């Protein structure tokens, strides 16, 4: 009996030692240096973002629908901690965006001709999409496009005052940057339920703040999306709970003005 008890205690000690050693595994230095979040986010932050062979999407290349692919997140999950926590980034990109991509591909399987068009071309002409998949394509094609833009117009080195041409255009249109931020945040706050707030260029070439419900894209209304913020709860819920206004304020700390400038210039060259 004593022998058995001794064996069990040795076994328990072994298990404990194994657990302690496991917990002492060194954390990769890059993540540990920049990480400031909660323990649950640590495990997320040390993971590599889900990737595909597809490079990140740029405004001068429309998104393929044959099949649509989840674009690579252009930074680590914890890179935007100034505004968004790592766990939210992981769920948002790996689960929500991935689901839009999968749902879009499943819907388009039945109509291979549509796969030859870009996601943008499909969304610009939703009336030509067969009725039985139209709502699915609208929600998931829109979700894919909106999120692809969203990841790009944020950066760990973002924030601060706008730079370049867009800074001048914002001042000209909205008086100053603070006035623009105020209007943009108000439009995001006023969006009832889920949706997006956008800075777009209209067909007359002017800047305009607008918001869309659900996953609707401004391109469905002939407007070119220059920058947008996701005001679905899944974009901010883990850190901000129901405090959308606080999220909208903090989000400016990660806004990527160089990419926004690039999109603003691209919007001048395109019909919509
Ligand atoms: Mn979202």
Same-domain check for residues 123 and 173: no
Same-domain check for residues 146 and 187: no
- The dihedral through the CA atoms of 227, 231, 236, 242 has a sign that is positive
Write the DSSP string, 166-194.
Answer: HHHHHHHHHSSHHHHHHHHHHHHHHS-SS
Same-domain check for residues 97 and 143: yes
Same-domain check for residues 204 and 135: no
| Domain stops at, among 108, 131, 152 | 152
Same-domain check for residues 200 and 109: no
Residue 177 located in a structural domain: yes
Q: Quick check: 44 and 86 in contact, CB under 8 A?
A: yes
What's the confidence (pLDDT) of residue 61?
A: 79
How remote is the CA of residue 92 from the centroid of ligand 1, in Å?
6
Gap between the Cα atoms of 180 and 208, Å rounded: 10
What's the confidence (pLDDT) of residue 26?
A: 40
Gap between the Cα atoms of 54 and 200, Å rounded: 26
> The CATH number of the domain where 114 resides is what?
1.10.287.990
How remote is the CA of residue 9 from the centroid of ligand 1, in Å?
51
What's the confidence (pLDDT) of residue 46?
A: 53
> The CATH number of the domain where 252 resides is what?
3.55.40.20
How remote is the CA of residue 220 from the centroid of ligand 1, in Å?
18
How remote is the CA of residue 27 from the centroid of ligand 1, in Å?
29
Same-domain check for residues 146 and 243: no
Q: Quick check: 44 and 90 in contact, CB under 8 A?
A: yes
Residue 78 located in a structural domain: no
Helices 164-174 + 177-190 axis angle, to 10: 80
What's the confidence (pLDDT) of residue 24?
A: 40
Residue 122 located in a structural domain: yes
Same-domain check for residues 254 and 169: yes
How remote is the CA of residue 130 from the centroid of ligand 1, in Å?
26
54: left (phi over 0), alpha (psi -120 to 50) or beta: beta
Same-domain check for residues 175 and 219: yes
pLDDT, tens digit only, all 272 positions of the chain: 454 455 545 544 444 444 444 444 443 333 333 333 344 444 565 555 554 433 444 456 799 999 999 999 999 999 999 999 999 999 999 999 999 999 999 999 999 999 999 999 999 999 999 999 999 999 999 999 999 999 999 999 999 999 999 999 999 999 999 999 999 999 999 999 999 999 999 999 999 999 999 999 999 999 999 999 999 999 999 999 999 999 999 999 999 999 999 999 999 986 54
C-alpha triplet 37, 38, 39: angle, nearest 5°: 125
How remote is the CA of residue 234 from the centroid of ligand 1, in Å?
6
How remote is the CA of residue 232 from the centroid of ligand 1, in Å?
6
| Domain stops at, among 104, 129, 152 | 152
Residue 133 has, within 13 A of its CA and on its CB side, a CA count of 19
- Domain coverage including residue 177: 164-269
How remote is the CA of residue 14 from the centroid of ligand 1, in Å?
45
How remote is the CA of residue 6 from the centroid of ligand 1, in Å?
55
How remote is the CA of residue 196 from the centroid of ligand 1, in Å?
9
Gap between the Cα atoms of 124 and 114, Å rounded: 13
- pTM for this entry: 0.80
Same-domain check for residues 183 and 260: yes
């Amino acid at each position: 009996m004593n022998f058995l008890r001794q064996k069990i205690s040795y076994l328990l000690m072994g298990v404990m030692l194994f657990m302690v050693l496991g917990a002492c595994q060194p954390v990769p230095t890059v993540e540990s240096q920049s990480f400031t979040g909660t323990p649950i986010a640590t495990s997320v932050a040390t993971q590599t973002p889900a990737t595909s062979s597809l490079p990140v999407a740029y405004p001068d290349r429309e998104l393929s629908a044959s099949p649509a692919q989840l674009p690579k997140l252009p930074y680590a999950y914890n890179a935007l901690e100034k505004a968004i926590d790592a766990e939210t980034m992981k769920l948002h990109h790996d689960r929500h965006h991935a689901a839009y991509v999968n749902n879009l591909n499943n819907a388009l399987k039945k109509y291979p001709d549509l796969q030859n068009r870009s996601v943008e071309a499909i969304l610009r002409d939703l009336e030509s999409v067969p009725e039985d998949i139209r709502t699915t394509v609208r929600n998931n094609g829109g979700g894919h496009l909106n999120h692809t833009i969203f990841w790009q117009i944020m950066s760990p080195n973002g924030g601060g005052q706008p730079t370049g041409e867009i800074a001048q255009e914002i001042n000209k249109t909205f008086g100053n940057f603070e006035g623009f931020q105020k209007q943009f945040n108000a439009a995001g706050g006023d969006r009832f339920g889920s949706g997006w707030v956008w800075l777009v260029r209209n067909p007359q070439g002017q800047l305009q703040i607008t918001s869309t419900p659900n996953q609707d894209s401004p391109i469905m209304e002939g407007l070119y999306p220059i920058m947008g913020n996701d005001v679905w709860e899944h974009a901010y819920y883990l850190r901000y709970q129901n405090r959308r206004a606080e999220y909208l304020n903090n989000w400016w700390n990660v806004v990527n003005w160089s990419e926004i400038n690039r999109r603003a210039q691209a919007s001048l060259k395109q019909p919509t």
